[in-house]
Chains A and B, each alone.
Chain A
Amino acid sequence: MKYQIVVAGFGGQGVVFLVKVLSICAGKKGYKFLGTENHGMSQRGGSVSSHIKIGDFYNPLIDLAQADLLIGLDKDEAILNLPYLKRGGNVVVNADEFPEIDANVFAVDANKLAEEGVFDAKGLNVFMLGLTLARVKDFPFSVDEVKEAIEEINPKFAPQNFDILEKAIEYGKN
């Protein structure tokens, strides 16, 4: 199997954490993978994106029009990274609205939900991953596999992250 994911956000949103989760998932299933991060000189607030290539690949960068899935932790960063998406690909994005495109777009204003107290804003990355699990049919990993990976990275925060993940999945299904 081959699956290419772009995660787009800004510094501080936990883009790299998602790379780690997905890379551990791939490892557990015996899939080959390569992933890389794109960021400049900023630490907080600057553009950050990650490319994750699951399967038989040889370089970590996803080229234009190649990604199966775009996870956007921020609306503007998601729009900026649209050129990587293939026709008919999937977009799961933190946004109140999103451009009409020839792709499966699932937009949720997660910022608003965080403000309303549905989940802790610091867990936005996990919430978006939960939405992805709920809504993207061909996503290569299951909820349990994601939970195992989250626990492996940081057992201490695992219960909070599980809670956020489950809330996202519940929200995504409704």
Chain B
Amino acid sequence: MKLTLMGNEAIAYGLLHSNTKMVSGYPGTPSSEILTTVQKIKKDLPVYAEWATNEKVGFEVAYAGAIAGVNAAATMKQVGLNVASDALMSASFIGNKGAFVLIVADDPGFNSSQTEQDSREFARFARIPVVDPATPQEAYDFTKLASKISKHFEIPVMLRTVMRVSHSREIVEIDGNFEFKDTEGNFERDIPRWAAVPRAGRLKQAYEQLDRLDKIREYNYNELIKPKIEELKGTENLIISSGTAYGYVKEVLEELGLDIDLLKIDMPYPLPVDKLKDLVKKYNKVLVVEETYPVIEEEIRSENVYGRMSGHMHQIDEMNKERVLEALTKIGFYNGENIYKPVFTPENPKTRKPNLCPGCPHRDVYFAIKKVFRPKKSIYPSDIGCYTLGINLDAIDTVLCMGGSVSMAHGFAIADKNKTVIATIGDSTFFHSGTAPLINAVYQKAKFILVILDNSTTAMTGRQTTPERATSGEVDIKKVAEGCGAEVMEYFYKPDINETINFFKEVKKRFDETDRPLVVVSRQYCVLDKERATQFLPGIFATVDEEKCVACDVCTTQYVCPPMAYNERGKIEIDPLLCIGCGVCISGICPTDAFIPREK
């Protein structure tokens, strides 16, 4: 059966077609669609597919299922694996009865992530096998392969996808007549295994882990690498590649007309290093092309092996064919022209900075925060989410990781007593990693303001529901903050900038009177959430009275709504196709009241 599928959709099908019964994780581009697709295509099958509050929790929920004998999977982006790594490191010693597939989506080139990491390296660090798909087809096939290996060898297996696999589309061949095989979980007590303690229990497991890896190494060679070696022609030089990097190399070799052996590695860890080193000796030079770290190159390093470590391959950023060509030139495989040099290079192209959506309530909150808590006397730590884009309003000073805003607010409050610390975090991020540092701050009596931008959705990653919304009032963010011991204020957002500013003036008064963290819960909505937003948007569309506009830049630098731009006459105009009718700019953004309602 053929379907046009995105890589993440292919992975979801691969999970179902591996009889995966439990899937958990946390959303983050480029991984988010995996779990949502499982939810969609499972229909009436008895499959648990639910978001967790963070990746650690999702890993542990799914992993418990695998210990109890059902096939399970955890899904996350690469920085999410950092959160779940504690569980992973331990799980790799313990293993599993049912299959356990750990799906991690990397983001070479920082398209939407604060780091550029290579999760293949993490698999090596954790000593678990990792498979590295190159296309949506392979994402489907390798998901099934990972499940099979995990079940057979009783070890977690990583499926490492990247943005160009997850967010690419292809016609994928999937099993047409697949019958889901339901299995009942059955936890069997085995304390020496599932509850192994240092030293004797864990030491024994460490030796067992090495044995498993040796067997998997053998499997990798016999089943995956050897058949590909046998197809090599034996040219003078060799290129070794893995994952999406393979696709770039293959196209470049064809487009340059080069006859060089190309070996694709499907499982970059554990590698049959001795056998690969023997292969490498048969060639004059070997170039390793991989993304993002030199994982394979490091394992097989020899004097005739080149790549990132030797400086022949680029060190940072996403793969492209020009970079492959440059490496081929540097190593001496190619001495022709650069066919990927642009023919057309625009002069001064206008670029769009990433921005909050038109009409997003986050913008108003940031605008009001800066009005009341002036930059010179404030520190603005923030966090990971849509609201990070508040950086465009110069309303964010730091971005570190999930939950970091709260801990850093604590630290800034201690270190710099001359400034007011006002931190921002989303509701999902607060549940992810914000509660522990808030408890710590209350306990340690640190004084800062934490604004929780509660739109009850994880907007940036496709509006998954947060615990609060999913359990309809049972988990209330205000009660949680109060339960942590903080002082709490609540704001019910209105698209009127004066209302928001006045509220934050009240916050300042309250803050001056307290000696512990002050939490503001701002009840908002996501404008992409059609269900809720239409209740709040008043439908007041804006235009500009050019006679009143004095081109003062307040709207374009301090409010920064996407429809706002200068026209040929040097006056602000509103793009009618982008304006969503929130009416906020009319409510008092402009010092000269140049924004007026549009008639039509």
Which residues of A are at the interface with B, using a C-beta cutoff of 8 A? 10, 12, 19-20, 23-24, 26-27, 32-47, 57-61, 63-66, 76-77, 79-80, 82-87, 99, 101-103, 111, 114-115, 121
Complex-state Cα separation, A34 to B169, whole angstroms? 6
- Give the secondary structure class of A's interface: mixed
Among B134, B341, B578, which residue has its beta carbon within 8 angstroms of that of A44?
B578
Complex-state Cα separation, A86 to B355, whole angstroms? 31
B567 close to chain A: CB less than 8 A: no
Q: Which of B230-238, B244-252, B299-307, B431-439 contacts A (4 or more CB under 8 A)?
A: B244-252
Among A45, A60, A87, A101, which residue has its beta carbon within 8 angstroms of that of B357?
A45
User: Binary interface profile of B, 123-163, with partner A (CB < 8 Å = 1, else 0)?
Assistant: 00000000000110000000000000000000000000000
Taking CB atoms, residues of chain B closer than 8 Å to A20 are 4, 169
Q: How far is the CB of A66 from chain B (nearest CB, A)?
A: 7
B346 close to chain A: CB less than 8 A: yes
Instruction: Check if B168 sits within 8 Å of A36, measured CB to CB.
Output: yes
Instruction: Check if A85 sits within 8 Å of B343, measured CB to CB.
Output: yes
Taking CB atoms, residues of chain A closer than 8 Å to B552 are none
Instruction: Check if A36 sits within 8 Å of B169, measured CB to CB.
Output: yes
Tier of interface size on chain B: 35 or more
Instruction: Check if B341 sits within 8 Å of A41, measured CB to CB.
Output: no
28 A-B pairs in the complex with CB atoms less than 8 angstroms apart: A19-B169, A20-B4, A23-B171, A26-B171, A33-B170, A34-B170, A35-B169, A36-B167, A39-B111, A41-B354, A43-B528, A45-B562, A46-B354, A58-B246, A58-B247, A60-B168, A61-B321, A63-B322, A64-B322, A64-B342, A79-B346, A79-B350, A83-B342, A85-B343, A86-B343, A111-B577, A114-B577, A121-B577
Q: How far is the CB of B331 from chain A (nearest CB, A)?
A: 19
Given A26-B171, A58-B250, does the pair A10, B352 have CB atoms closer than 8 Å?
yes
Taking CB atoms, residues of chain B closer than 8 Å to A60 are 164, 168-170, 247
B115 close to chain A: CB less than 8 A: no
Closest A residue to B323 by CB, please name it: A63
B339 close to chain A: CB less than 8 A: yes
Among A40, A47, A83, which residue has its beta carbon within 8 angstroms of that of B346?
A83
Closest B residue to A57 by CB, please name it: B251
Taking CB atoms, residues of chain B closer than 8 Å to A43 are 357, 386, 459-460, 528
Closest A residue to B389 by CB, please name it: A41
Q: How far is the CB of A172 from chain B (nearest CB, A)?
A: 21
Complex-state Cα separation, A82 to B343, whole angstroms? 8
Taking CB atoms, residues of chain A closer than 8 Å to B349 are 76, 79-80, 82
Instruction: Check if A66 sits within 8 Å of B169, measured CB to CB.
Output: no
Taking CB atoms, residues of chain A closer than 8 Å to B358 are 44-45
Instruction: Check if B386 sits within 8 Å of A41, measured CB to CB.
Output: yes
- Give the secondary structure class of B's interface: loop
Instruction: Check if A12 sits within 8 Å of B343, measured CB to CB.
Output: no
Instruction: Check if A80 sits within 8 Å of B111, measured CB to CB.
Output: no
B388 close to chain A: CB less than 8 A: yes
Complex-state Cα separation, A63 to B346, whole angstroms? 16
Given A40-B354, A65-B342, A99-B346, does the pair A58, B171 have CB atoms closer than 8 Å?
no
Instruction: Check if B346 sits within 8 Å of A59, measured CB to CB.
Output: no
Closest A residue to B576 by CB, please name it: A115
Among B4, B339, B460, which residue has its beta carbon within 8 angstroms of that of A65?
B339
Taking CB atoms, residues of chain B closer than 8 Å to A111 are 577
Q: How far is the CB of B287 from chain A (nearest CB, A)?
A: 17
Q: How far is the CB of A122 from chain B (nearest CB, A)?
A: 9
Q: How far is the CB of B492 from chain A (nearest CB, A)?
A: 24
Instruction: Check if B4 sits within 8 Å of A27, measured CB to CB.
Output: yes
B112 close to chain A: CB less than 8 A: yes
* CB-contacts of B324-361 with A (<8 A): 339-346, 349-358
Among B4, B248, B341, which residue has its beta carbon within 8 angstroms of that of A24?
B4
- Indicate the member of B4, B321, B339 with the most A CB atoms within 10 Å: B4
Complex-state Cα separation, A41 to B164, whole angstroms? 16
Taking CB atoms, residues of chain B closer than 8 Å to A82 are 342, 344-346, 349
